[in-house]
Amino acid sequence: MKRGFIPPIDCLLAFECAARHGSFTRAAEELCLTQGAISKQVRLLETRLEVELFKRVRQRIVLTDAGRLYLHDIRGTLEKMTGATRRVMSFGGSEDVLNLAVLPTFGSRWLAPRLAGFHQQHPSSSFNFSVKLRPFDFEEEPFDGAIHYGSPTWAGAIAEPLFREEVVAVCAPSFLQKHKIQDPLDLAGVMRLHQSTRPDAWQEWFTMMDVEAPNAFQGPRFEQFTMISQAASSGLGVGLIPRFFIEPELETGTLICLFERALQTRSAYYFVYPEHRVIRPVVQAFKDWLMVEAGKKL
């Protein structure tokens, strides 16, 4: 990397801020500088690049075509630098910081309520969580591990099995009373709530229950199980939801499990991590703790 091609960070920040606000004055206010300082830094950047980034029109500044392209390209880099700085600051002098990628519903409904237990065992530990819905390259992402749902396949990583799902049909007490549901066949004639990434779930459930349901795919679709849980709790319909996601609702009676028989999914949850990261004591400790917690569920 040739240093001569990297402009001073102050100039880049001044340019990005001015472009975002469309004003040197407002950029100066945000960066706690004078308008003259912002203008000077932008001019230095234009001189360095030998490209005009703004057109000065009376009291206004307007991005040139080159300015728009440059803004698009550097904005992501500046955001990554900001994120990297915040992450390293979160260490606070400690080496016991875990950077984990999690699935949103698993993270909020299963993992987060249990983290206090890990912290009690490892009081110097800290966490940074980010949502990742798909596998990624650990060499290019700053994560120590990830929660993965699917098959035990992740390039460049070890996959430790946690558990499979037991998916149950649930609804609100008011919905059950209104529709007098007693038999699996009764669900063929009521509103069913679908998870958009699992379009075949209801068809598989009816097949398991030996029920003919030609309209199994009908019903509203939701991106996440938390949305299905909320919709079912409000009385909209019947949802197929993994039992461990809705343990609090089942305990309080907000949701009722209609039939004890559960649909066993072919996929499972895994804790995946690059082998070289497990040499960190905090990663090893978290993996061991996570396996114990997962075993309690089985």
Share above pLDDT 70 across residues of the chain, in percent, rounded to a whole number: 94
Lowest-pLDDT range of 13-17, 140-144, 289-293: 140-144
Average pLDDT over residues 73-80: 86
Q: Could you read off the pLDDT of 117-157 as tens digits, one per residue? A: 999 999 988 888 899 988 899 888 889 999 999 999 898 89
pTM here is 0.67
Average pLDDT over residues 81-110: 77
- Quick check: helix, strand or coil at residue 149? strand
The mean of the pLDDT values for the chain is 89
Average pLDDT over residues 89-106: 76
The whole-angstrom separation of Cα 242 and Cα 225 is 8
Q: Are 217 and 202 in contact (CB under 8 A)?
A: yes
Q: Could you read off the pLDDT of 44-57 as tens digits, one per residue? A: 999 999 999 999 87
pLDDT at 298: 46
- Return the structure tokens found at 230: 């909320």
pLDDT at 192: 97
- Return the structure tokens found at 253: 């009676």
pLDDT at 1: 47
Q: Which domains does the chain have, with CATH numbers?
A: 3-89 (1.10.10.10), 94-298 (3.40.190.290)
Q: Are 225 and 241 in contact (CB under 8 A)?
A: yes
**Confidence grade of residue 276 (pLDDT, cut at 50, 70, 90):** confident
Whether the CA torsion 262, 263, 264, 270 is positive or negative: it is negative
